[in-house]
Amino acid sequence: MGVNATNPANHNMVGNDEKYRPEFHFTPDSMWMNDPNGMVYYKGEYHLFYQYYPKSNVWGPMHWGHAVSKDLIQWEHLPIALYPDSLGYIFSGSAVIDWENTSGFGTKKNPPMVAIFTYHNAEKERLGTNDFQTQGIAYSLDNGRTWKKYAANPVIPNTSFRDFRDPKVIWHPASKKWIMVLAVKDRAMFYASSDLKSWKFESEYGLKDEKRLWECPDLFPIKVSGTSETKWVLVVSMQSGAPNGGTGTSYFVGDFDGHQFTNSQPDNKQFWLDAGTDNYAMVSWSDIPAQDGRKLMLGWMSNWQYAQQVPTQRWRSAMTLPREVTLVKTAPAEWKLKSMVVKEFSAYRKNKISISKDKMTGNKCLLFNQSPAICEAIITFDRSKCKEPFQILITSTSSDTLIIGYDSSGNNYFIDRRKAGISAFNPLFAAKHSTPCLSKGNLLNLHLMVDKTSVELFTDEGLTVMTDIFFPKSEMNKIEILSNNLSELLKENMVHTLNPKK
């Protein structure tokens, strides 16, 4: 079974749209998708709900689409979980397993899966009021297959905030309470509850002179790698001002005492989970079993700048690959998240291709020659020997070229999609994106996940990630390295072809 093989679209090609559909990234069967929602693990299944509009390939009245996976890679589509109702569209939110049945919706033996989401009342918005977003809950007693909305919704009414949304709920063992973090205009607000039904405002966190709109927050504790210290990460998606333009996912590192978040870094430092353009609304999975212990995250692989115009018709947009994040201390008062694609991928590696140095000719080395380009490439090179940019070219027979590289003159990584295919749908799409290199030593390691129409670059041991999408005119079928003095500077290169059939 292929990753998207349960999509009827794969068997029933409509136009030439399917050439863009990735193999390993989650895509909706058809129509419009944005943010991941309600990600929760229960009884051997990873649940992925998502913002979904089943009637069009552009944004509209939001539902929660639903899929499940046993390994985070092969997804099975399930019927729509939540439909709009008289209180509004179903905007983004989260889901938890209420193990102790604090809500009373289930029993301790059969704990309810509770979804916490934003109601967006479009009619009220049209009438010009400011209170059209409220928070609602729903529950399922059959592993997320069927849902019942709480009769006394909304659980948090709105007093006056036009932007009041995207609740992420976690259990806070120290205070024995549920904590909700909400994005409210230009800041995060924290609420507490003992039963998921009645909520009390606790505090807020924001930045001075903030002009950007905050969305899709997340809050979680995480051990600092190699220590016994625990820090709290507050994730916030920003509607503008991401490192390479448009929308992106950022985070703050600090402490949370059950009431208030405080940033532990000078000047309320903010970092980005991804320096590419295509990772928005990234949030973490709830209820990963303690014996697994990982912090797993996934984002929407697009950017509001052009998401509704990308050249697919039958379906629109994919999710990023699921990633594991860890926290490291990088300076006396600085902590950063590292990201890496989940280890489950190794089960899908098929052939390992390594190119021996004596086979390299001049400044080019062919890594991969197969259509479509779907692979995992791991490349280590010595940047002290780079006299010109080190480049990895992904090309098609229609001469589309995507370049991923390192430029020693500016000490930065880049992804250049200016000539990678169709881009006329939006003037902001064709661009070269770059981000500073954070590694200190001479050896740089690039870990690339290539899936037909996207590339995810993990480097600086996971401290730097870049996710970019592209739309080649014909399938990409070649990956080459281009650099001066290749046989001397290339230390290691390995490509795993990936096959959706294990």
Q: Binding residues for ligand FRU, per CB under 6 A?
A: 34-35, 51, 62, 91-92, 118, 165-166, 215-216, 280-281
CB 37 within 8 A of CB 135: no
CB of 99 to ligand FRU, least distance (A): 27
DSSP 275: S
CB 190 within 8 A of CB 172: no
CB of 189 to ligand FRU, least distance (A): 14
The Cα-based distances of 28 to 22, 38, 248, 281, 482 in angstroms read 11, 16, 21, 17, 36
Q: How far apart are CA 217 and CA 188, in angstroms?
A: 7
Q: Between 28 and 421, whose beta carbon lies closer to ligand FRU?
A: 28
The Cα-based distances of 401 to 3, 453, 480 in angstroms read 26, 12, 11
- Closest listed residue to residue 130, CA positions, set 172, 169, 197, 184: 184
Q: Between 48 and 479, whose beta carbon lies closer to ligand FRU?
A: 48
Residues in a beta bridge with 203: 190
The Cα-based distances of 221 to 79, 261, 271, 427, 479 in angstroms read 33, 11, 17, 40, 39
Q: Positive or negative CA dihedral for 322, 328, 331, 333?
A: positive
Catalytic residue, from 35, 400, 451, 460: name it: 35
Q: Between 247 and 459, whose beta carbon lies closer to ligand FRU?
A: 247
- What is the DSSP secondary-structure string of 394-419? EEETT--EEEEEEETTTTEEEEEEEE
CB of 160 to ligand FRU, least distance (A): 18
Return the number of other C-beta atoms located less than 10 Å from residue 119's C-beta.
26
Total number of residues shown for the chain: 502
CB of 25 to ligand FRU, least distance (A): 17
Q: Between 114 and 444, whose beta carbon lies closer to ligand FRU?
A: 114
Residues in a beta bridge with 450: 375, 455
Q: Between 166 and 451, whose beta carbon lies closer to ligand FRU?
A: 166
Q: Look at the block and give the residue holding tokens 């991969």.
A: 368
Q: Between 299 and 405, whose beta carbon lies closer to ligand FRU?
A: 299
CB of 118 to ligand FRU, least distance (A): 6
CB of 194 to ligand FRU, least distance (A): 26
Q: How far apart are CA 319 and CA 278, in angstroms?
A: 9
Q: Between 315 and 414, whose beta carbon lies closer to ligand FRU?
A: 315
Q: Between 24 and 53, whose beta carbon lies closer to ligand FRU?
A: 53
**316: amino acid identity, one letter:** R
CB of 168 to ligand FRU, least distance (A): 11
383: three-class secondary structure by DSSP: helix
59 alpha-carbon distance from chain centroid:
19
Structure-block tokens of residue 492: 């290691």
CB of 341 to ligand FRU, least distance (A): 23
Return the number of other C-beta atoms located less than 10 Å from residue 21's C-beta.
20
Half-sphere exposure (CA, 13 Å, Cβ side) for 188? Answer: 29
* Strands (E) located in 280-348: 280-284, 295-300, 315-316, 323-331, 334-341
Contacts of 473 (CB under 8 A, 6+ apart): 396, 398, 400, 421, 422
Q: Is 416 a catalytic residue?
A: no
CB 39 within 8 A of CB 299: no
Contacts of 74 (CB under 8 A, 6+ apart): 1, 2, 3, 500
CB 415 within 8 A of CB 466: yes
CB of 123 to ligand FRU, least distance (A): 16
Q: Between 120 and 295, whose beta carbon lies closer to ligand FRU?
A: 120
Active site positions, annotated? 35
